[in-house]
Amino acid sequence: DAMVIQNPRYQVTQFGKPVTLSCSQTLNHNVMYWYQQKSSQAPKLLFHYYDKDFNNEADTPDNFQSRRPNTSFCFLDIRSPGLGDAAMYLCATSRPAGLAAYSSYEQYFGPGTRLTVT
């Protein structure tokens, strides 16, 4: 089945120790997103790629970086995790549902990676 895969599902890192979360997709979607979701909150968009074009949200801390080496893979790098970065990190993908200019970019989510910072 076509899907969005996130590895690992659970990640424990130490305060200040760089960590990388990975996302892969078999949907061949051109847009990939990274969200941060804290307990009992809505997902918060960190950034997204439209093909190779990187789009950073204005309030995303510099501590968060991303790489997309090809269509299928996207990585989230946290350079110096703090205790406040403990959260669920969700990857999502989308593509236009139709050819018209107004197309619904419905998003397909992976299962998430729960990050713990000790």
Residues that bind other proteins (CB under 8 A): 4, 6, 31, 40-43, 45, 48, 50, 88, 90, 92, 94, 97, 101-112, 114
What DSSP designation does 83 have? G
The token pair at 101 is 């200019």
Nearer to other proteins, 7 or 80 (CB): 7
Of the candidates 94, 80, 71, 89, the residue with the CA atom closest to the CA atom of residue 21: 89
What DSSP designation does 94 have? E
Nearer to other proteins, 50 or 54 (CB): 50
Report the b/e string of 26-58 with b at 16+ CB within 10 A.
ebebebbbbbbeeeeeebebbbbbeeeeeeeee
Q: How far is the CB of 63 from other proteins (least distance, A)?
A: 22
Q: How far is the CB of 110 from other proteins (least distance, A)?
A: 5
Q: How far is the CB of 38 from other proteins (least distance, A)?
A: 12
Nearer to other proteins, 83 or 100 (CB): 100
